[in-house]
Structure 1
């Protein structure tokens, strides 16, 4: 069906997160203001004290996908879980059997699985087939019989939200009729990581976005997939529509920042503003932004400054838009961070509830909230309609992504 609106329906979701085995449990965790972070008893003060452990990360139904146990053991756990999650997402969307031309757009993270296999003497050809990120998307396409584009996206922390943007573009271009988009970053168990004062991870083991006590983020594992379809097609076929993606944008900071790993006010602001223009929304229509929100002393002020710069293109209002970060609940899930934030936001828009952003008591003094459009959503509250939200993602190296999510009015 011809659809000139450019709007894309979210018709299915699946995921696994620290403290939540599926999307329903994830939503309960959020509205109950629970943290899924595991405190680690290392008995070594130099090791990071917490991690978002993914339960059952080493489990896999090999027979379901035609693998022997030996073959499955060679495949990186993040690739195994992403395959399972993709299959589950299609089933939840109602397309577990017959389906239109379907594309796969996913991101992943480097892991130590290949090193473990080499130490066990596994042949190099098998190591590469089982672990290279090149095969993250094509393995899903092969095993599920999906004949649309299959792309693996590697833009660090923004990978899975960039994947969503590419899926939307492919749907609008007619490259596919249905799309899977998301990502995974999976470590089996909890890694032993030494605190690095130059890094982004919290020595206290708490992620406190926008708070004066924020000292960094907490590492975590997760996997998430959304199923996307042009809105007109979804309506025509009676698909369940969780929310609508009204606009997406992606860019890079270029050299407009102090260093390669640093975020940029200008780069982020331009991506956010571009998404607003694509979605044809003004800032005063947006009631919530799910931020990247890593709780780093530099990152949080830059992100709020970028959001403010973008919002000031269409409004001078202050204190009307709430912000939060799912990293306060589950930690920073690296390549899966963007899709985890998107799934949370879709659930907020669909259910009319804004879960609290945890561990916020006193604002970071480097953030000028008083003259900004933003207020940290420190407690769970109802969100009356109409509901429009933004999702922001930033990747080390400068690739930014922003998505505008709205409730479906049908």
Structure 2
């Protein structure tokens, strides 16, 4: 059963909407830039060597502007401003992208069966949650939970000064930062009664969420699906941790499938699609951007490590997808790859693809990670 993409919405660095995103791709624009001081003082975490613990050897990324993170019409969505103060900005960004996608699909005011509409969101982490928890962590730190305790009036004053700009815990502090609420707040805002769930599958979270939306559409559980993913890089944690792994580019360049590739660069943003069964979209007169003929998801099982890709697992996922689509890989004219630009990731992916396309030769391929991370 084929699935139609009938609506698009996105917000990426240098691209506030799908048209700007397409222009960015078409022009080959790279949007990596120094880490904004408004996120954190990266000089405290940067060291160009790989020998210093708790440091990152990269000082670049793809970031949205401060205005894009701050601006949000909370009352437009019927959400109290005080609630927004403790809500993960990932939720806000997602709401804006969903709104754009529904407008693009013509469903902002158009009637549709909302009880049979589902939401499927790829989301791996809430870094904003760490900001809100800093008040609690400060008490633990000064009480000696992680080292020597500090006590007395001076210690109390110092602790209070460190967290004076952090919003105290409120009723929505916890639900406003749960990953599952990223999907739930969309369902609540538009009164959608189908499944509403968030999926954490690391780099493939948004694609796995979309695949789950397709499964639900094909199974007749829903008639319309909103699928996508969101991530905001608000803390240095991931840069430091990925530096320990050696997965980030030391040059601050992302060059998938290049002999000189030395890792990826972090990026952020959100993207959303509105999906319907193709027959339903044609019947309802929807504008159709593209047709998804097949989709598949699997797992590598046991490999050399939990983060090490396995060629056999990727090859089987490709085979499953083409069987599901009932088409031959030889019919493709273009392939969008994962393209991590890491030594292990690129080699495994290329070998799996080469084995799949061995009889037909190679096909043109690319990876948007080069520009956006």
Shorter-chain TM band: 0.7 to 0.9
- Give the aligned partner of residue 159 of structure 2: none
Equivalent of residue 60 in structure 1, options 63, 67, 72: 72
Higher Rg: 2
The answer to whether the 8 Å contact 2:126/2:179 transfers is no
Equivalent of residue 328 in structure 2, options 282, 300, 308: 282
Q: In structure 2, what is the Cα distance between the partners aligned to 1:273 and 1:161?
A: 17
Query: Higher mean Cα deviation, 37-46 or 103-112?
Result: 37-46
Aligned: 1:148 with 2:194: yes
Q: In structure 2, what is the Cα distance between the partners aligned to 1:191 and 1:51?
A: 13
Q: In structure 2, what is the Cα distance between the partners aligned to 1:203 and 1:64?
A: 43
- Give the aligned partner of residue 317 of structure 1: 360
Structure 2 gap segments, 5+ residues each: 37-41, 49-55, 136-165
The answer to whether the 8 Å contact 2:127/2:234 transfers is no
- Give the aligned partner of residue 232 of structure 1: 279
The answer to whether the 8 Å contact 2:124/2:201 transfers is no
Q: In structure 1, what is the Cα distance between the partners aligned to 2:368 and 2:304?
A: 27
Q: Larger % of helix: which?
A: 2
Q: In structure 2, what is the Cα distance between the partners aligned to 1:86 and 1:39?
A: 29
- Give the aligned partner of residue 306 of structure 2: 260
The answer to whether the 8 Å contact 1:54/1:189 transfers is no
- 1:68-115: CA deviations, max 9, x gaps? 222111110111111121122111101112223211011112132112
Q: In structure 1, what is the Cα distance between the partners aligned to 2:369 and 2:174?
A: 32
Aligned: 1:209 with 2:256: yes
SS of 1:229 mapped into structure 2:
strand
Task: Tell me how far 1:237 sits from its aligned partner.
Answer: 1.3
Q: In structure 1, what is the Cα distance between the partners aligned to 2:287 and 2:238?
A: 42
Q: In structure 2, what is the Cα distance between the partners aligned to 1:234 and 1:78?
A: 30
User: What TM-score do you get using the length of structure 2 for normalisation?
Assistant: 0.82
Q: Larger % of strand: which?
A: 1
Number of aligned residues: 321
Equivalent of residue 96 in structure 1, options 102, 105, 108: 108
1:31-42 residue pairs with structure 2 within 5 A? 31-40=26-35
- Give the aligned partner of residue 212 of structure 2: 166
- Give the aligned partner of residue 169 of structure 2: 123
CA RMSD of aligned residues (A): 1.8
Task: Tell me how far 1:317 sits from its aligned partner.
Answer: 2.5
The answer to whether the 8 Å contact 1:49/1:203 transfers is no
Query: Compared with structure 1, are the counterparts of its residues 284 and 177 closer, same or farther at alpha carbon in structure 2 (3 Å cutoff)?
Result: same
Structure 1 gap segments, 5+ residues each: 1-5, 332-410
Task: Tell me how far 1:40 sits from its aligned partner.
Answer: 4.0
User: What TM-score do you get using the length of structure 1 for normalisation?
Assistant: 0.75
Q: In structure 1, what is the Cα distance between the partners aligned to 2:238 and 2:89?
A: 18
Aligned: 1:244 with 2:254: no
Task: Tell me how far 1:124 sits from its aligned partner.
Answer: 6.5
